Structure formats: C-alpha cells, structure tokens
Amino acid sequence: MTRNLHHALILSSAIMLGVFAAGCNIFDFASDAEQTNIEQAEENIREGDYDAARELLADSVKDSTDSHALYLDAKAQLRMAGVDIVQIVELVEGQDASSGDQLGILEIVDGLSDAEQTEWYQANLNIASNLRKIFNEETTGPFTPEDIALEYTISNLMSGVLGIRDTNGDRIIDDDDFSLDVLFNNTQDGYAIGGGSYEDELGNMQTFNGLEVFLGSFAAKTASPGALTGKAGYEPDDINPLILHVMYLLDNSRDALKVLIQKNLSTFDPNEIDNYVLQIASLVNYYWYDDGFDTDGDGSTDEETINGLDDDGDGLTDEDTGYHPVDPTNTRNTQYYQTWLKWQDR
C-alpha cells in the first residue's frame, strides 16, 4: 500500500516522519450522530483536543490489541508534542554526513529546553511502543506492519537519538544528564563520540573528552592541572546500558526500513534514512566498556583506557575500553555480546 509521504506527514514521534495518504480511512473522520470511541477520538484529534482523544482510547490502548486505537493514540501524542515533521524529514534526507558537523538531529534537539526535549523523547518512546505491537503483528484491526513501517522507523530513530541525551536512563532529560557530542568522523566514515559537557553543582559548565565523564566523582576529585572531568553519580558500568538502549531502538528502526525498501512503500528513498541510521549505529557500537571483545574491529581487545585520549591512534577516543579502577565491580560485561555482534556483522 503506497503512501504519499509529503502529503500526509502524520505520526512520527518527537521527530517522527509519519507519512501516509492512500487508503486505511485514517483521515476520514466520522460524521454520524452516534460515534464509537474510535470515531470520536478521530474527531477530537481533528479539533485539536488530544487529551480527550487519548482518554477515549485509553482502555483499548491498555489492552494493546486494537491497531486502530494504538495508531490514533500515537497520532494524538505526536500532535501534542508539536514536532516540526517537515524539518526533520528534510534533515534526515538531506544532511551531508561528511560535513564534519554534529549529528543534525541533535543540533535541533539541543535548541529545545529540557522540558521540550523530554516531551519529544517520551512521545517518541510511547509511539514506538504502540507501533511495535502492530509491527510485530500482535494486534487486530485495519493496520498492518506495512501501514506503519515509516512511522515505526522514525519513532525508533528519534527515540534512539534522544536517548543519547537521557544518559541516566530515567526517561527525563534534565541536569542529572550530560550532553554527549556525536560528531562525524571522516576517518571512520560515521559518527563518533567526541566528548561533551554538563553543568556542575556550582552552575559552571564542564567540558570533557571521550567518555571520561563516566569516571564520576573519581575524576572530579583529581587535583592535578588538566584533571579529568567526570560527573558525580556516574561510573564506567553506566556506559553499556546507555549504548544498549540506543542500539535497541536503532535496530527496530532498521527492521522497519527493510520493509519500506523491500516493498517500495514510500515516495522518498528510504535508503537515505537507512544510511543515516547505520552511520550512527556503526560507531556507537564501538564504545562498549570492558566486555572482553574487539568491539572496534582493530585486532585488539579493550585496548583503550577511559582517559579522553586516542590511545590506539585510530582517530577515535575511548572506544573499546577496558576495566578502569574507578569501577566498583571488575566483572566483564559479556552480556552485551549479541547486540554488538548483530551490528558488527552489518
């Protein structure tokens, strides 16, 4: 079922594309005197009363079996978040990855307040969760995996990118998190973590290189000139859960892209988005901590130290790191192997 991308531009979570236009009656709002909850919810969405629409859909969404209700609930959340979908579509399709700039979507996100980033992030996560049930064929009703493949692609992509800002994993982007710079790396032909910044307890901005922020208060207490800058409350073992979260969402995004590419379901070139996802994921996959594997594929295992330096001279900083003495546990993190391997083979 071909969808007209730029005519519909529906759904997409906080930065989601949502683009469909032919069939499925999703835009044919009911006008009968007596309406079902689904029909009334459609009417409420058209009138901009998104809270009322979601309230009507709540029971069906909770049961997680009605694809129509799940889709409309996702649509209402998208509208509530106030995302500029056209801007995101143009960015993903047109960004020149070799420009050396920060990941373009993060540049847009960083122009928002913490509250706005959180709203976009939570909306994307919720929409991806709704659509995942449809994509995995766990629902009944009019929508099929092919119908929502594009929206599912973008909601997962945006959740993954915004997840880079939710560094403590609480679904809220605030001062407890820090900002990671994700920069295009010409040497590796993809995006790499180049360091970042955060606001300390005194309100001063602290900058750091690589992953040294994960050294927490251990680094913050270092008194020597040019001391490493860690953020209190973090430790090296926090690196892997963050990577896992991002990689899981990017993996879901790519699964949906396969459907779009194989069945030619959109009027744009989904290979451009696929390339965008791969450029982010391929290098994020290098940053697993103390897992006992050669995660950057250079023939050495856990050869880097978390110190903000390019120890092995490959153009990346703090990738494929080994055990650091600030880590309170010395057990290798082998449980992430399957996630790393899945992306390493692509």
Q: What are phi and psi of 21, to 5 degrees?
A: -155, -15
CB 178 within 8 A of CB 243: no
pLDDT digit string, tens, across residues 262-277: 887 666 678 888 888 8
Mean pLDDT of 123-144: 93
Mean pLDDT of 329-333: 92
Mean pLDDT of 63-82: 88
- Using a 10 angstrom Cβ sphere, with 0-12 exposed, 13-18 middle and 19 or more buried, the burial of residue 206 is middle
CB 117 within 8 A of CB 173: yes
Q: Tell me if residue 110 falls in helix, strand or coil.
A: coil
**Which range of residues forms the domain containing residue 188?**
97-346
Structural domains in the chain (count): 1
Q: Is the pLDDT of residue 17 over 50?
A: no
Rounded to 5°, the CA angle 215-159-96 comes to 90
Mean pLDDT of 191-219: 89
Q: Tell me if residue 73 falls in helix, strand or coil.
A: helix
In a domain, 83, yes or no: no
In a domain, 213, yes or no: yes
In a domain, 3, yes or no: no
In a domain, 35, yes or no: no
CB 335 within 8 A of CB 239: no
Closest to 305 measured CA to CA, from 316, 295, 284, 319: 319
In a domain, 168, yes or no: yes
In a domain, 186, yes or no: yes
Distance (Å, rounded) from C-alpha 87 to C-alpha 209? Answer: 30
pTM of the predicted protein model: 0.84
Q: Tell me if residue 209 falls in helix, strand or coil.
A: coil
Torsion angle, CA of 246/249/252/256, rounded to 10 degrees?
-110
In a domain, 28, yes or no: no
Strand duo 205-208 + 179-185: pairing: unpaired
- Tokens 């990941």 appear where? 103
